[in-house]
A and B are shown apart, each in its own frame.
Chain A
């Protein structure tokens, strides 16, 4: 981690602190997972080490699947730190509220395609929120924050991944959550075949029924 110039904190997230720095002449992000005092230190260490190893692997896999992710330059497991390329741009979270409907639609369509590509290649993102998506100056969407992801082609985790995308839209972008999610599914459907998409959509419905996500349709008087 030598030759690091001017690291300065750009974001103190819940899980990690992100520093912007210069490294061998490149603008980089240094993502450092800091110890959490609330949990036992052995558990804490285990979680941080696992995610530090796991995240770059999944980012690399995602890139191979055609999903833009930052390039990984260095992984320091001991310091639970990852050095990756800096993506200059804006979070989707900031963009969605400020843009017109047609632009929102096209962004969400593109996001759906990216999620589709991940899933088609057996990658689950694990934290699909609009703050983990960055649009660069050329309009290319990058996905970040793969620490909670996993590698699987099973239906259940795919359903959960999309369900969480929907939930994130509902809590943070409640004014246009539905149109956005519909566009996401439209984009998703471009990548995966009709049958798979259908079974994943059924899975999402099942997840919603299973949890406390849907109000009873009929009035509930007595049995």
Chain B
């Protein structure tokens, strides 16, 4: 490919699995040149996939432009277009995929469909220089404990119902809290929790290396409505209980696999309390603790761009006629040839 030799190799990544539309640019060598994130934040209620998709379509041009301005490179200098092909919300994914297909055919460069969960792990590894970690990936849509083995990221544990981030978000919404750009619900709850003092007993559900949050959420919301406890105490209790659960399963996976690093990634990884818990088990087992920098914790285009580079090096391109989105694309279905 001509452009590989002419002054650099750039991959543009488009992320649009849920409420964020983001564009990132990565170089072949793993430098992140841009990472522009535009979050859709509904005033009320949860994410309406169609509304979010409309938001993505509306801001796509602006976000792309900002990314180009930031990097100072022209669209013509791009060598690959990567996009998150799944898992995620259908309408949102389709919007990102449409933009990616258009760019790829207009610029006549290969398209690379990236698995969103793989991307959360890869950006964490790249940014922290982790080699072969046990990963706790916690976000609004996923709660997964995984590690690499024989060509794939194997899933050792996950949530049996809702995701950890979703649990925090729904609680925050039920409590009438507001989020804003730079201060998502999880961060709002974190701030309140820091002022909590009393631990209110809540259901703690761990099954093997798996967790379940729906019972915990219901119980917490019920207590909220009874108004017997302060919001600070409930936030604190919810966090302590939920984070203890994911930490327990991560420790189990660590003991089971005997890996030497533990990586925390995904939107909830930005939480300082969760970080301190995972750091504690890393110390206990004498392994290295790695946490993704917060800019790359939430959904972002840079992680898609970087994973696109990794995949492209192994000729994993996605022909347009295979570029349909995969709503339930599981982490362990993806072959990872770049790890030996």
Contact = CB atoms under 8 A, between A and B. Distances in A.
B326 interface: yes
A170 B284 CA distance: 28
Given A43-B241, A220-B327, A211 B160 contact: yes
B325 A13 contact: no
A170 B154 CA distance: 8
B255 A211 contact: no
A102 to B, nearest CB: 24
Interface in A71-85: none
Most buried by B among A12, A220, A222: A220
Contact of A39 (B158, B159, B252, B277): B277
Contacts of B207: 126-127, 148, 160, 164
Nearest to A93: B256
Contact of B330 (A127, A129, A213): A213
A96 interface: no
Interface string A80-94: 000000000000000
B118 to A, nearest CB: 14
Given A14-B254, A40-B240, A164 B324 contact: no
A171 B90 contact: no
A42 B204 CA distance: 13
A161 to B, nearest CB: 8
B328 A214 contact: yes
B190 to A, nearest CB: 16
Interface residues of B, number: 46
A96 to B, nearest CB: 15
Nearest to A163: B160
B21 interface: no
Nearest to B204: A47
A129 B208 CA distance: 8
B328 A164 contact: no
Given A14-B251, A215-B330, A171 B199 contact: no
A196 to B, nearest CB: 21
Given A39-B247, A40-B240, A43-B204, A212 B328 contact: yes
Interface in A102-158: 126-129, 131, 148
A8 interface: no
Interface string B143-186: 00000011010111011110000000000000000000000000
B9 interface: no
B333 interface: yes
B326 A38 contact: no
Residue from B208, B256, B284 with most neighbouring chain A CB atoms (10 Å): B208
A126 B328 CA distance: 26
Q: Is the interface of B mostly helix, strand, loop or mixed?
A: mixed
Contacts of B247: 38-39
B19 interface: no
Given A39-B247, A43-B204, A148-B208, A207 B252 contact: no
A52 B316 CA distance: 50
A60 interface: no
Contact of A37 (B94, B149, B256, B284): B284
B27 interface: no
Contacts of A43: 199, 204, 240-241, 244
B255 to A, nearest CB: 4
Contacts of A46: 201
B210 interface: yes
Interface string A10-38: 00111100000000000000000000111
A37 B329 contact: no
A12 B329 CA distance: 35
19 contacts: A13-B255, A14-B252, A36-B248, A38-B276, A38-B280, A38-B281, A39-B277, A43-B241, A129-B208, A131-B256, A160-B160, A167-B208, A171-B155, A207-B160, A211-B158, A215-B333, A216-B326, A220-B327, A221-B324
Given A40-B244, A221-B324, 8 more contacts: A36-B244, A38-B278, A43-B240, A46-B201, A131-B256, A160-B207, A207-B160, A211-B160
Interface of A: 12-15, 36-40, 42-43, 46-47, 126-129, 131, 148, 160, 164, 167-168, 170-172, 174, 207, 210-216, 219-223
